[in-house]
Amino acid sequence: MRIAVARETDANEPRVAATPETVKKFKALGADIVVGRGAGIASGILDADYEAAGATISETPVRDADLVLKVRRPSVSELADYKRGALVVAIMDPYGNDAALKQLADAGVTAVAMELMPRITRAQSMDVLSSQANLAGYRAVIDAAGEYGRALPMMMTAAGTVPAAKVFIMGVGVAGLQAIATARRLGAVVTATDVRPATKEQVESLGAKFLAVEDEEFKNAQTAGGYAKEMSKEYQAKQAALTAEHIKKQDIVITTALIPGRPAPRLITAAMVASMRPGSVIVDLAVERGGNVEGAQPGHVAVVGGVKIVGHLNVPGRLAASASGLYAKNLLTFVETLIDKKEKTLAVNWDDELVKATALTRNGAVVHPNFQPKSAA
């Protein structure tokens, strides 16, 4: 059983899919591990560290590999080196990328998308969205503090008092909760909003205030999987009016709202940005999915009327060493379920609910029910 850890080819991707710690665990499961030369450098891991853990370093690690571990979906040029039938596990970003899924199918690889892992107890330790969003929420506050020209905590000095910064978090999932906790630790006065009623108690437990239009629609605004539902136009208008008034008084706003498989909802309009004081900062964590903020530019810090709109790409990757460590553990716990520990071989159970939920392609076809090619009929 040969497992390859591929080097990421995207210039915006510093993360790596394995650490020396997980390499040792894979070795103990009976695998031969081959790591792409320089794969871990951007995460602070040297080739020598992998070799010390038992891996071999190669310029072409994926050749003849039974299982390939990656962070991002392999490109067409990368797929040329993969053997047909290889299992490829990565964050595949399948929504809206039908052509890329066809390329994976045509290459004959079995592509598994880690971000489609079901939200069940057994899969918690495999949940890459949560592990990476946690870091993104923390980093969003750090990035905002770096762009903001004032201190976050209240400071009482002989020369006078510096007031605490007011921070508003929009969207209270994993990233939002970590953003609240981080902003609170830095001494800011924090408020937060979300369309899911269950989040109110979580927000208040972290010492922040909750802001929402709490009507009947709000009480039923959560899917069985714990995700936000798309709200009606009427509710969105009421919530927008409430948040518009609140945003005027904020120093820092962090938006984290995402809906799986859809463009990110627009939460902050140009008029709301214009209402904020010069020197204020907005961080849009959804900028890669179309953005929550009007005027946000992917990969840039835009300045609109003196307000900075931060649109960094791959925010977890801005903490590459931590992000790689967590992602590698997510992969390890999932891959362990695919290995026959007695025979020390890959033994995928295609009826396992984890595999059913995450397998995109197999035997030259797209097999996931949510991503079936549109028929010409």
**Domain locations along the chain:** 2-126+319-365, 136-318
Q: Give the pLDDT of residue 223.
A: 66
Give the integer Cα–Cα distance in Å for 90 and 234. 39
What tokens appear for 204 in the block? 């208040």
Tell me: the pLDDT tens digits for 95-130? 989 999 999 999 999 999 999 999 999 999 999 999
Which among 37, 63, 119, 318 is annotated as catalytic? 119
Q: pLDDT band at 372, cuts 50/70/90?
A: confident
Give the integer Cα–Cα distance in Å for 354 and 360. 12
Question: Would residue 124 show up in a list of annotated catalytic residues for this protein?
Answer: yes
CATH 3.40.50.720 fits 2-126+319-365, yes or no: yes
**End-to-end C-alpha distance for the chain, whole angstroms:** 42
What tokens appear for 229 in the block? 């539902």
Question: Would residue 82 show up in a list of annotated catalytic residues for this protein?
Answer: no
Q: pLDDT band at 377, cuts 50/70/90?
A: very low
Question: Would residue 37 show up in a list of annotated catalytic residues for this protein?
Answer: no
Domains 2-126+319-365 and 136-318 are alike in CATH topology:
yes
Tell me: the pLDDT tens digits for 257-286? 988 888 999 999 999 999 999 999 999 999
Give the integer Cα–Cα distance in Å for 315 and 134. 10
Q: By C-alpha distance, which of 137, 100, 86, 122 is closest to 373?
A: 100
Q: Give the pLDDT of residue 376.
A: 41
Type of residue found at 157: T
| Residues 270/295, Cβ–Cβ less than 8 Å | yes
What tokens appear for 365 in the block? 């076809």
CB atoms within 10 A of CB 156: 8
Which among 81, 127, 143, 194 is annotated as catalytic? 127
Q: Give the pLDDT of residue 225.
A: 63
Q: Give the pLDDT of residue 220.
A: 75
Share of the chain above pLDDT 70, in %: 97
Residue 205 CB-density burial (10 A; 0-12 exposed, 13-18 middle, 19+ buried): exposed
Question: What's the half-sphere exposure (Cβ side, CA atoms, 13 Å) at 108?
Answer: 8
pTM for this structure? 0.93
| Residues 281/144, Cβ–Cβ less than 8 Å | yes
Say if residue 188's pLDDT is above 60: yes
Say if residue 229's pLDDT is above 80: no
Q: By C-alpha distance, which of 246, 302, 294 is closest to 271?
A: 294
Say if residue 289's pLDDT is above 80: yes
Which among 130, 131, 178, 280 is annotated as catalytic? 130
Q: What is the CATH code for 136-318?
A: 3.40.50.720
Chain mean pLDDT for the chain: 94
How large is the average pLDDT for residues 126-150?
97
Q: Give the pLDDT of residue 362.
A: 97
Question: Would residue 130 show up in a list of annotated catalytic residues for this protein?
Answer: yes
How large is the average pLDDT for residues 30-46?
98
Q: Give the pLDDT of residue 320.
A: 98
CB atoms within 10 A of CB 279: 13
What tokens appear for 171 in the block? 């969207």
Which among 64, 122, 227, 232 is annotated as catalytic? 227
3-state secondary structure of 349: coil
How large is the average pLDDT for residues 239-265?
92
**Element spanning 240, H or E:** helix 233-247
Which among 124, 205, 232, 372 is annotated as catalytic? 124
Q: By C-alpha distance, which of 273, 351, 266 is closest to 306?
A: 273
Q: Give the pLDDT of residue 217.
A: 82
Q: Give the pLDDT of residue 195.
A: 82
Share of the chain above pLDDT 90, in %: 87
Q: Give the pLDDT of residue 13.
A: 98
Say if residue 77's pLDDT is above 50: yes
